[in-house]
């Protein structure tokens, strides 16, 4: 067994911590959580910009060849951690790992957004469901060969019809804002 491994129930197991630094900032029209769509699919055509801090500009090379990118960010306005949550799209209590809710033990957010264009350290994106000012942690390309799966089951989400998902998923977002 490796150094960081542990037996179940072993109270002496070592729990490590890892420090991640902000590498940029996400600018969007979403100023209030209650008016922010809960997923990119419910945020169609909403545009935003990802500002990568200039010292990381070399890491952005070749990114503009991809139609979609993953943004990884920190849910900086979520203060609580809850192991059980009521998802926005559902009325039943679910384990937080079975949801995309922000109240997670580690507040890592992930969104797949459409890349429109890049200029220097700025990426223009569409379908953005992220609060304005959110700290960026990482960017990865969405690669068809790796990321398109055919899940037989999407758990409790399979019981939510598209109409209801669309209505609840947009939350109180108003285009005219």
Instruction: Sketch the per residue contact string, 126 through 155, with its own copies: x for CB under 8 A, - otherwise.
Output: ------xx-x-xxxxxxxxxxxxxxxxxxx
Does 35 bind its own copies (CB under 8 A)? Our answer is: no
66-85 residues near its own copies, rule: CB under 8 A: 66-70, 72, 74, 76, 83-84
* Residue 73 host element (H or E): strand 68-74
Does 156 bind its own copies (CB under 8 A)? Our answer is: yes
Does 96 bind its own copies (CB under 8 A)? Our answer is: yes
Distance CA 137, CA 74 (A): 7
Does 88 bind its own copies (CB under 8 A)? Our answer is: no
Kindly tell me which residue out of 107, 116, 126, 168 binds its own copies, with binding defined by CB under 8 A. Answer: 107
CA dihedral 53, 112, 169, 90 (to 10 degrees): -110
What are the structure tokens assigned to 146, written together?
């790796």
Distance CA 24, CA 49 (A): 11
Does 104 bind its own copies (CB under 8 A)? Our answer is: yes
Does 164 bind its own copies (CB under 8 A)? Our answer is: no
Instruction: Sketch the per residue contact string, 1 through 20, with its own copies: x for CB under 8 A, - otherwise.
Output: -xxxxx-xx---x-xxxxxx
Does 91 bind its own copies (CB under 8 A)? Our answer is: no
Taking a C-beta distance cutoff of 8 angstroms, is the pair 89, 160 a contact? yes
What are the structure tokens assigned to 104, written together?
């997670």
What are the structure tokens assigned to 8, written together?
């179940």
Kindly tell me which residue out of 29, 47, 78, 157 binds its own copies, with binding defined by CB under 8 A. Answer: 157
Kindly tell me which residue out of 32, 44, 86, 97 binds its own copies, with binding defined by CB under 8 A. Answer: 97
How many CB atoms within 10 Å of residue 156? 14
């Amino acid at each position: 067994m490796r150094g960081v491994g542990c037996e179940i129930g072993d109270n002496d197991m070592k729990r490590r911590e890892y420090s991640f630094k902000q590498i940029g900032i996400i600018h969007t029209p979403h100023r209030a959580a209650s008016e922010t769509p809960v997923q990119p699919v419910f945020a169609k055509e909403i545009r935003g910009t990802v500002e990568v801090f200039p010292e990381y500009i070399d890491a952005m090379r070749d990114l503009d060849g991809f139609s979609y990118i993953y943004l990884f960010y920190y849910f900086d306005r979520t203060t609580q951690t809850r192991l059980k949550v009521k998802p926005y799209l559902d009325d039943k209590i679910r384990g937080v790992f079975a949801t995309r809710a922000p109240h997670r033990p580690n507040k890592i957010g992930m969104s797949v957004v459409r890349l429109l264009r890049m200029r220097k350290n700025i990426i223009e994106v569409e379908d953005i469901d992220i609060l304005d000012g959110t700290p960026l942690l990482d960017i990865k390309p969405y690669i068809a060969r790796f990321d398109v799966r055919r899940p037989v089951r999407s758990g409790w989400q399979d019981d939510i019809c598209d109409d209801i998902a669309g209505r609840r998923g947009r939350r109180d977002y108003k285009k005219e804002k």
